[in-house]
Every structure is written in structure tokens, then in C-alpha cells.
Structure 1
């Protein structure tokens, strides 16, 4: 799902950067009000885990790459999509600069897909479902949907850029991530359940 340099025209990248800058402004404000000495290490651990799972890439025909994301996990743990924006900005920047995974010109687009869309879809899907079907099933569905819609957004962005036709990009990206999303859903539920059992004080939903 990492978009590399050259896949999106600079003018389009600049639009995504404007969106990212606005999102980062509100995310930093959230961090100043909500992160403390106990929650900052948790954010760092989640960032390290996300870095690891995103490193397990599989090539996608006519697309970029397929991998688990983790946006829903961060947003649900902190009950804040802002947390996902911060994590993915840092993780994707490191991956682009050091490992050549993704690109600097496409950094904002990648953060929008995995952090903003992945985080927001994950959190608000969880909030819409958790009182109806329970926390853990809601976490799983939210993580799956966040992964699929992030992949869909990636395909749409590259179609707008003229990288490939939308009728090829969407099936290529979405089909793979329908199955990758199942793995992500299971992993997200396992992580959240472990936190809920062993460190419930770190889950934001236990504070509400």
C-alpha cells in the first residue's frame, strides 16, 4: 500500500501535504493534552509493531504493495484517530528515508491512507458497533474495514494520478486487502484483548 515517488504528480502530492499538515496540527494539539509518561511508551511500542507488520510486503499487480496496516489498532487503543496520524507520519517517514519503502513526495498520501483513513474508519466503525455486538467483534470488523478502505483510497489516488485505470487498480488493491484485512482483524483483536486483560489501564475505553 506504500505509494513510491513518481506514482503521483507533484501538484497532487502538494494537495495531500496540505491535508496532512492540517491533520498534524490537530494531532499535536491532541498529543499535548492526552499523552503522559504512561501512554507515550505505549504509542512508541505500537509504532514499532506497525513498522514490523508493514515490512511484510507482498507485490500487487498494477498496484503498489499489500500488507497489514495497524491504523485501526492505534486509533482504537487511544480512542483517537490523531494517535494514528502521529504514528504513521513517523513510521512512514523512517521507512521512506532509510528503507526506500514509499516515497517522500508521496508521504502525505500514504499517511492519509493508512493513518487518517485507516485510523478514522477503524475508530468510528468500532464506536458504531461496540455497543451492539461487543468490543472485540467490533474491533475485528473495524480493523478489517479500515484496511480495505485504505487500500481503496490508495487505488483511487493512483487512478486520479493516471498511474493506472481505476477498473484495474481497485480490483488489484482491494481484492488482496480483503484477505489481508482478515489477518489484520485477528491480530488487532489479539493485541487489544491482551491489553484489556493485562494492562486495562492503557486502553482508553476503560477510562470512559
Structure 2
């Protein structure tokens, strides 16, 4: 799903960079207000995990690459897409500069797809469904949908840029990520189940439950 340099014209990259700058402004405000010594290590661990899962990718014909993302996971755990913006900006810069995965000119587009679209989709799907599907079911659906929509956005951006025609690029990117999203959903549920069992204090939606239990 990483868009490399040269796949999108610079004038379009500039638009995505404006979106990135605005998103980073709000993300930095969120971080100052919400990150403390207990949650900073969790954010760092998630960033390392996301770096690892995004490194396992496969080339996609008429697309870029297929891989798990993790934007929904970060947004759901912190109950904030802003957390995903911070994580993915750092991870994508390192991947682009050190490993040549993705591009610096396309950084804004990549953060838009994986962190902003992925994060907001995952979190608000989770919020909408947790009353009916429960925490784990809602997290799984949110992670799957976030992966698919991020891939769809990537394909649309490349179609607008003229890199791949929409009638082949969109089906190619989406089809691969429909199946990749299933793996991502399972991984997301496993991580949230582990946190819910061993460190429920790190999950925002558990705060009221913990305080009521006197912990």
C-alpha cells in the first residue's frame, strides 16, 4: 500500500502534504494533552509492531504493495486517530529513508491512507458496532474495513494521478486487501484481547469500568 516516489505528480503530493501538516498539528495537540509516562511506551511498542507487519508485503499488479496496516489498532487502543497519525508519520519516514519502502514525496498520501482514513474508519466503526458486536467483534470489523478503505483510497489517488487506470487499479488493490484485512482483523482482536486482560488500564473505554471496580 506504500506509494513510492514518482507514482503521484508533485502538485498532488503537495495537496496531501497540506493535509498531513494539518493532521500533525491536531495530533501534536492531542499528544500534549493525553500522552503520559504510562502510554508513551505503549505507543512506541505499537509503532515497532506496525513497522514489522508493514515490512511483510507483496507486490500487487496494477497497484503498489499489499500488507497489513495497523492504523485501526492504534486508533482504537488510544481512542484517537491522532495517535495513528503520529505513529505512521514516524514509521513511514523511516521506511522511506532507510529501506526505500514508500516515498518522501508521497508521505502525505501514505499517511492519509493508512493513518487518517484507516484510523478514523477503524475507530468510528468500532464505536458504532461495539454495542452490538462487543469490543472484540467491533474491533475486528473496524480493522478489516480500515484496511480495505485505505487500499481503495490508495488506488483512487493513483487513478487520479494517471498511474494506473481505475478499472484495473481499484479491483486489484481492493481484492488483495479484502483478504489481507482478515488477517489484520484477527491480529487486532488478539492484541486488544491481551491488553483487555493484562493491562485494561491502558484502554480508554475501560476507565469507567476500572474506577467503578475500585482499582
Using the size of structure 1 for normalisation, the TM-score is 0.99
Which residue is 2:92 aligned to?
Answer: 92
Equivalent positions of 1:57-206 (< 5 A) are 57-206=57-206
Query: Aligned equivalents of 2:9 and 2:136: distance in 1?
Result: 41
Query: Aligned equivalents of 1:133 and 1:180: distance in 2?
Result: 21
Which residue is 2:211 aligned to?
Answer: none
Query: Aligned equivalents of 2:88 and 2:136: distance in 1?
Result: 24
1:132 Cα shift? Answer: 1.5
Which residue is 2:212 aligned to?
Answer: none
Query: Aligned equivalents of 1:195 and 1:116: distance in 2?
Result: 23
Which residue is 2:8 aligned to?
Answer: 8
Which residue is 2:213 aligned to?
Answer: none
Which residue is 2:37 aligned to?
Answer: 37
Count the aligned residue pairs.
Answer: 208
Q: Deviations over 1:159-204 (max 9, x none)?
A: 0000010001111100000000000000000000000000111111
Q: Deviations over 1:7-53 (max 9, x none)?
A: 00000000000000000000000000000000000000000000000
Runs of 4+ residues deviating >4 angstroms: none
Using the size of structure 2 for normalisation, the TM-score is 0.96
SS at match of 2:68: coil
Structure 2: where are the runs of 5+ without partners? 209-215
1:82 Cα shift? Answer: 0.3
1:205 Cα shift? Answer: 1.2
Which residue is 1:20 aligned to?
Answer: 20
Larger Rg: 2
Query: Aligned equivalents of 2:159 and 2:207: distance in 1?
Result: 42
SS at match of 1:134: helix
Query: Aligned equivalents of 2:102 and 2:206: distance in 1?
Result: 36
- CA RMSD after TM alignment: 0.5
Q: Deviations over 1:66-85 (max 9, x none)?
A: 00000000000000000000
